[in-house]
Structure 1
Amino acid sequence: MYPHPLLQEGLAVALGGRGGLMPATLLSIGRYLERSNMLKVEELFKRSSFRDYDPSLTYPLAAAFVDYFIKKSGFQNYVNLYKNHSASKPEDVPEISITDLPFNLSEWILFLRSNIDDVIQLPDREYVMQTDIISRYSCRMKDTLLITVETSLNNMTSGIFSRFFSKRKYAGEKYLLIAEEGEISVYNLYSDMLIAKYAAVFSENKTFVSYIKGCFLFMIRNDVFDEEIEPLNFIEGSCLQEN
């Protein structure tokens, strides 16, 4: 059977990521694509249209939509839609109609407008953390920060570490943070995956990362990391404090 690619690829990416990117990162990209009107999910309702666009656009958007669909309407409704839009031949796969959805498509748009991704946030002009029910670390660092954890793994290699530090020996650090004017990247070196990303070009106001007295300033949600991060575990950088 050939399922509709929006439903097939969307579920795969939402659960497992793609191309070295964690699901959370791709979901953020997909939501931005729809929110900014760069690509609308309705354009992917026709099977042939899904193949007309670059996978770097269609896969994240499909993942974001499927993730919303399942959380909104339940997995069984998703399975029903999946079955109803599968066929024995690719050319026979039915087009998805807005009437096939168990919710109004306007609810998806409203969700995107009211739920801005904020895994990594920039501080306000006074650089004071606002009260938030989600715990975050406030980070003040130079361009690169390596973080070790208590249960560090020895005798292993990291492809991402080798890419950025080709002349340096890997010592079992678990996380790598890289900050630039236009973006912040957080990598898990054990899994060699990008686990969080801020890009000015994808932000609502195209805001660049604050740079004060030789350091970049930003905040990152605690749940990006698998464990609590202690300042003494840092190899490089200035400070990372919990608010």
Structure 2
Amino acid sequence: MREILTQLNAVPGVVGSFVCGGGGELMVHAFPPLFDESIVRQASAAVADRNSGVRAAAGSFDLLDFRYNDGRIVVKPLSEAFLLLLCTKAINLQVLNISLNVAKGKLDALIAAAGQVFAAPASVQASAAKAVDGVLTLPACHIADSTVGSSFEQLGMGALNQTTAQQISNFYKAGAVKKLKLTSTASGISAIFPFMVVNENDAAYDGKIILCRAIEKKLKVGPGDHLTVEIP
């Protein structure tokens, strides 16, 4: 999906873009580094907020164009999500709309495919639902040494890649994941921890809970051990 957003960002006047799910969860974004991801996530939640008016308007219009003094925000409703673009005030909407219509078809297909994967009965979440009475169970893991890994290690946080964050949101029909209650299936030790979503595209982290050393120590778990995962 990020490749599609990158193509949209190449349209003159587009500053950045993101796709969010119907629950407000950020699925993917392509904004310049100066945009803090927490701000992007807040915008994602606002787009899908049932009280914001955007959802109601999106049901009646093919495109929403919000104009401000210094720029414009364009929202394109998708079948199961929303596409938002931050643009300069000089954006040519007719030119942009051509690219948006092409992008919509591609994004809808990718989101539908992702939903089928998460809903597959042979997946981890299906077996976990039987074993733990409807509570998702996922294995723990470490992230390879990197700048991202170092940052959440220092903060004492856990991490999810975007695929796993979406899996958890879909399982519990919830919005953005910020905190999780983790319980070791072996020791029974349980606690609530803050989580961050990282742009880690390695499929090896799909469907896994990335833990820092402090959380591992508290729960007495290691890579490969299973945890029940709940949204507190």
Give the alignment's TM-score, normalised by structure 1: 0.35
Greater RCO, CA 8 A, separation 6+: 1
The structure that is strand-richer by fraction is 2
Larger Rg: 1
TM-score (norm 2): 0.36
